A and B are shown apart, each in its own frame.
Chain A
Amino acid sequence: MNEMSPAAEATADYLLEGRGIVKRFGALTANDHVDLAVKPGEIHALLGENGAGKSTLVKMIYGSLQPNAGEFRWRNTPVTIANPAAARRLGIGMVFQHFSLFESLSVVENIALALPPSASMATLSARIEQVSRDYGLPLRAGAVVADLSVGERQRIEIMRCLLQEPRLMIMDEPTAVLTPLEADQLFVTLERLAREGRAILYISHRLEEVKRLCHTATILRHGKVVARVDPSKETAASLARLMIGADVHAIRTARERKTGPARLTLNGLDQPPGGPFAVALVDIHLEVRAGEIIAIAGVAGNGQSELFDAISGERLSARPDAVLIDGAPSGSLGVTERRGIGAAFVPEERLGHGAVPGLTLSENVILTRHAADNAAGMARRGFLDFALAALTARRVSQDYDVRKGKPDPEARSLSGGNLQKFVVGRELDRRPSLLVVNQPTWGVDAGAAALIRQALVDLAASGAGVLVISQDLDEIFEIADRVAVISRGRLSPAYDAHAITLEAIGLLMGGADPATITLGALSQTEVARHAH
């Protein structure tokens, strides 16, 4: 591991160095003596699993957090980056993963907030429109953020950064929210920026794009630097091993699926937008049969959560037969009644939607099971059976390897991965005939993700229908039998996962008309079903 000790090398040509950076949050050491060195004109990848400490490190570089130990050097001079303003003064800019935009403010106001107070709004507006055109990311300065698409919002973030003429740009998972096409456009811009002599610190866990784009990669695992490599000389598999530390065991898939009756049918589901910033669902058709896993791919914010709410019954449909669960018209049934038919749901947001932060795990069991499962109903004549709830919580924790500090902790004290295992396990424990899960492994560590995916595959094998909404294409290809793509509230037909190419999915995610996509081995029934 000698190669990863930059202090030993000649340091004169580094733009930014971090030496022995340590950051602790309570008992957790998020960064443990991290070394990092970035050259001008370099696209430098920061690779690592969720929770490896990437975000913590860049927050310190950007001055949002302060290290407990270690030092940063900027152009070979030790510096303290006390706050983001200080970072910006040095020439460090950041494009956030979760946009730090102000919804009710205009594009120009959003950008002005990130710049030192100077020019008038009119001058700034003109400059924004000019520079954004130059870089191929056009923006209207007067538009209000709330009305913009995800891709446009990211452009605001990038413009914010660019207008500060940064020497170093930090980009936190910039492609997570983009279609493959939009991502390609972004790469062109980034390569141009690097040619201009700017350094880019590129955070990602997508190995292919790191291989393609980046000159150097620093790999973090559990808060420590485990390697510094040239990604173009690595394979995706070797990068993955470095990132995860071990080969993740492959999912056993029963590929010769035997599908049974339809567990979930969507018959022309329509829904007007529920609020000013929501997506409308338009004429959605889908059938999930017993024994199969169907995945819905798509870029965030294209109607996934609206679709989830419509299927779960958190929003009711105008027509009862728009949603059939196990053949029963359910469009006008509430979520409790749909559970009664045998459906189970896992929403995207674990804390605050799937679980109540301030309640214990056993109390959280009651959340989705107070009325479902008549045999083991946890509410009888209005009174709750806490003993049964506690028993169930213990069983779920055991069966799905939920690790916790004490027997029955509050939900908010669990790590993301463990809480997700609990929330998924709580539903699987019911042996549902239909499971609908939104982003099953988002922000979950590799071990937990593998466990959850295996459980989904096993559930389908046991004769349930499983619908997975996911933005993670690797996950989709790992477990799904068929794949549909959602874009602007419209759902494509479901294609056989073996037949559809990544490229075709990319086009569909970008809003291409399914009729124009040629796939080759499309199943005839699917084509017929969506012909109208």
Chain B
Amino acid sequence: MRIELEKRGEQARFFAVASPFIAVGLMLVTGAILFALNGIDPLEGLFVYFVEPLTTVWSIEELLKKAAPLILIGAGLAVAYRANVWNIGAEGQLTIGAITGAAVPILFPDWQSPMVLVLMLALGVLGGMIYGAIPAILKVKFGANEILTSLMLVYVAQLLLDWVVRGPWRDPKGYNFPKSISFDGWQILPNLPGTHVHIGVVFALVAALVLAVLMRRTLKGYEVRVLGQTPRAGRFAGFAPNRMVLFVFLLSGGLAGLAGICEVAGTIGNLQPSVSPNYGFTAIIVAFLGRLDPIGAVFAGLLLAISYLGGEAAQVSLGISDKTARLFQGILLFYILACDTLILYRIRFVRPRRLKEGSAHGRA
């Protein structure tokens, strides 16, 4: 059997909306099969994974905390990928943002003022932007592939973080554990009133909204779409492709940096060798599941945050590894990409063509 594609004249509106849902549905089916193969009741498995995290206040708060960095980064990456610029080093930009932001409380541990928090956030964003600018400049100046350079820089950033928390910034009273001093007061991101959720969630929602307006209503967003789809037409319109590369790297890098400092100042409370469970990479899935739309990234971010929590829950109550979460995430991305084909093509499964004389067949 062979797969044949037939191009549609235009994008299919239905599939443009439905494809993420189909993908999620397929992932759930796959998950159920995997559970069954491992001797787990599929319904119970899916319940633990995808429903239970929504049943307690505590877990919903956890969910929001995990969704915040995914949305922040995912919305930024959505814009970058729309511009056909492949920043896959958000994990590195997040890490650098965490380091630069954390420099304030670590270097001035006794400074307490609202300014501290503002400065931490600003430096976090700035760190992410500068680190994101490196692959952008290498691409613009030398034509170096941004996919490879931005990814290489992830490893470099993680080694840098490892070094600072084991070396110069290690907490002298920390019993030689590789971590910095703990933050407190204005060095900590405040929670939303009456909750245990830090205001990073608000940043995420605001960022997604602003980017949505940017993409839908402004000339800049139009530029992103045109240069991403058809660079030649973009130049004809008078848009500068090189400036666009820099712009989206600064934007997505800055948001990743913000996510990094929010993790450190909000969720963790100090600097340690690992500040992110691969948020920077999972956000790639968020961007695609959200159909490269900032608002879509909000919903996608929430869903993937569920998978993180579900993984933890499954380890406890089903006795399976929380690594299944990453497997589910990978499978999901595959399904999304496959379903996106439906937007521009009709898919037909055909048997090998009979080479019989006069075998005229009409269109199905």
Contacts and interface: CB of A to CB of B under 8 A. Distances in A.
Interface of A: 22, 24, 26, 66-71, 78-80, 82, 312-314, 334-337, 339, 345, 347, 349, 352-359, 363, 366-368, 370-371, 379, 382-384, 405, 409-410, 412-413
Interface in B166-219: 217-219
A68 B362 contact: yes
A82 B355 contact: yes
Contacts of A356: 225-226, 229-230, 233
B356 A382 contact: no
A69 B360 contact: yes
A353 B232 contact: yes
Contacts of B357: 71, 78-80
Contacts of B359: 80
A366 B222 contact: yes
Contact of A367 (B11, B217, B237): B237
A66 B357 CA distance: 11
Contacts of A22: 360
Contacts of A337: 238
24 contacts: A24-B363, A26-B363, A69-B360, A78-B357, A78-B358, A79-B357, A80-B358, A80-B359, A313-B238, A314-B236, A335-B237, A337-B238, A352-B232, A353-B232, A353-B236, A356-B233, A359-B225, A367-B226, A367-B233, A368-B237, A383-B217, A383-B218, A383-B219, A409-B10
Contact of B222 (A70, A345, A370): A370
Contacts of A382: 218-220
Contacts of B230: 352-353, 356-358
B356 A80 contact: yes
A335 B10 contact: no
Given A68-B361, A78-B357, A384-B218, A314 B235 contact: yes
B9 A357 contact: no
Which of B6, B9, B217, B220 has the most CB atoms of chain A within a 10 A radius of its CB?
Answer: B9
Interface string B219-245: 110100110011011011110000000
A359 B226 contact: yes
Contact of B238 (A24, A66, A336): A336
Contacts of B11: 358, 410
Given A68-B361, A368-B237, A413 B219 contact: no
Contacts of B238: 313, 334-337, 339, 371
Given A24-B363, A353-B230, A413-B9, 15 more contacts: A80-B358, A80-B359, A82-B355, A312-B236, A335-B236, A335-B238, A336-B237, A336-B238, A337-B238, A357-B229, A357-B230, A358-B229, A382-B218, A382-B220, A410-B11
B10 A413 contact: yes
A354 to B, nearest CB: 7
Given A336-B238, A349-B232, A356-B226, A24 B218 contact: no
A367 B218 contact: no
Contacts of B363: 24, 26
A70 B359 CA distance: 10
B25 to A, nearest CB: 26
Contact of A345 (B229, B236, B360): B236
Contacts of B356: 80
A384 B219 contact: yes
Contacts of A358: 11, 229-230
Contacts of A357: 229-230
A222 B141 CA distance: 51
Contacts of A409: 10
Contact of B360 (A68, A354, A367): A68
B42 to A, nearest CB: 39
A71 B358 contact: yes
A413 B6 CA distance: 14
Nearest to B346: A26
Smallest CB-CB A-B distances: 10 pairs = A336-B238, A413-B9, A379-B219, A69-B360, A335-B238, A367-B237, A410-B10, A356-B230, A413-B10, A353-B232
Contacts of B226: 356, 359, 367
A73 B233 CA distance: 46
Contacts of B361: 68
A167 to B, nearest CB: 21
Contacts of B6: 26
B229 A370 contact: no
Interface in B342-364: 353, 355-363
A359 B229 contact: yes
Contacts of A367: 226, 233, 236-237
A118 B220 CA distance: 57
A390 B222 CA distance: 15
Contacts of A345: 236
A239 B182 CA distance: 89
A438 to B, nearest CB: 11
Contacts of A352: 230, 232-233
A366 B221 CA distance: 12
A34 B238 CA distance: 47
B362 A24 contact: yes
A314 B220 CA distance: 19
A403 to B, nearest CB: 14
Given A24-B362, A356-B226, A367-B233, A384 B217 contact: yes
A71 B355 CA distance: 13
Contacts of A70: 360
A406 to B, nearest CB: 9
Interface in B245-294: none
B350 to A, nearest CB: 12
Contact of A384 (B10, B222, B229, B235): B222
A384 B213 CA distance: 11
Contacts of B225: 356, 359
Which of B238, B355, B362 has the most CB atoms of chain A within a 10 A radius of its CB?
Answer: B238
Contacts of B358: 71, 78, 80
Contact of A368 (B10, B229, B232, B236): B236
Interface string B303-320: 000000000000000000
